[in-house]
Structure 1
C-alpha cells in the first residue's frame, strides 16, 4: 500500500519551479528540490523518474499558471486597444521591477525551446494570446496580424526595459505599446 503524499503535486511543482526560477534550470537537481521541499531525493525520483521529467513537469505547471493568468486578464480587460495594452502590461508584472528577474525568465524560455512538449505549449499560448488581443483590436481590417505584431513589440519592449531599467515594467510596456499603436495610425 503506497504511503500518503505529504505534498500535493501542485505544492511540489510550485516548490520545484521556485528552485528553477531562483537557481536556474541546471541547478534544479533532485537533491536541490528535495532540500527545498523536505522530501527525499528518492521520493522525487519515484514521482518524476528523471531530472528532465521533473523540469518538464515544473515548467508545464508554470504554463498552467500563465494560461490561468492570461484567461483571468482577458476576462477582465475591455475589448478595446487600451484593453489590449492593459492585458500585456498585466502579463509583464511577474517580473516586478527587476530586470534580473526577466533575465532569469529567459533561462526558462531556453528550456521551453529545447523541449518539444514545452515548445508546443508555448505555441498554443501564443495563439490564445493573439486571439485575445485581436478581439480588442477588432475594428481593424487585419486584427490577427496587428495582434501578432503587437506581441512581438511587447516582447521587444520587455527586452529593452531590461537594458534600460527605466521605471516600472508595466509603465514601460504601456508606453511602448501606445507608441506602437499610434504608429499604426488608427489607434492613437
Structure 2
C-alpha cells in the first residue's frame, strides 16, 4: 500500500520554483528542496527521478498557472470593461513572469510556451488598444515595457510609469 503524501507535488514544485527563480538552476538540488519541505531527498528522487525532471515539472506547473491567470485576467477585465493597465496588473503577481521566461528559455518546449504566452498577451493588449497595425505595434511595445518594468522594479526602477507610456503609444 502506498504511503499518503504529506506534502503534495504541487507544493514541492512551488518550493523548487522559488529556489530556481531566486538562486538559479544550480541551486535546485534534492538536498535544498528537502531542507525546505522537510522531506527526505530519497523521497524526492522517488517522486521526480532527477533534479532536471523536478525543475522541468516546476517550470511547467508555473506556466500552467500563468496561462490560467492570463485567461482569467482577460475575461475579468473584458467583463468589467477595464483597460490595459488593469489587465497587466492582474498578470503581475503572484508569478514573476520575467524570471519565469528567463528560466524557461533554455528548454525548447518551455521557450515555445513563453513565446505563445507573449503572443497571447500581445493579442489581448491589441484588442484593448484598438485594431490594425498601430494597435498591434503599441501592444508589442507595451508588453516589452511592462516586462522591463517588472524586471527592474526589484532593483529600484520604479520611476517609469507604464500608464503614461501606454497613453503616449495610443
TM-score (norm 2): 0.80
Which residue of 147, 154, 159 corresponds with 2:146?
154
Equivalence for 1:64: 64
| Count of paired positions | 168
Q: Which runs of 5+ in 1 are unaligned?
A: 96-101
Equivalence for 1:140: 131
Equivalence for 1:3: 3
Task: Tell me by how many angstroms 1:116 deviates.
Answer: 1.1
1:157 and 1:110, CA in 2 relative to 1: closer, same or farther beyond 3 A?
A: closer
Equivalence for 1:182: 167
Q: Is the 8 A contact 1:77 1:87 kept in 2?
A: yes
Q: Which has the higher contact order (CA 8 A, sep 6+)?
A: 1
Equivalence for 1:99: none
Q: Give yes or no for the alignment of 1:44 onto 2:44.
A: yes
Q: Is the 8 A contact 1:79 1:135 kept in 2?
A: no
Task: Tell me by how many angstroms 1:151 deviates.
Answer: 0.7
Q: Structure 1 residues 126-135 or 10-19, which shifts more?
A: 10-19
Equivalence for 1:113: 105
Alignment of structure 1 residues 78-117 onto 2, 5 Å: 78=78, 83-94=83-94, 106=99, 108-117=100-109
TM-score (norm 1): 0.74
SS at match of 1:152: helix
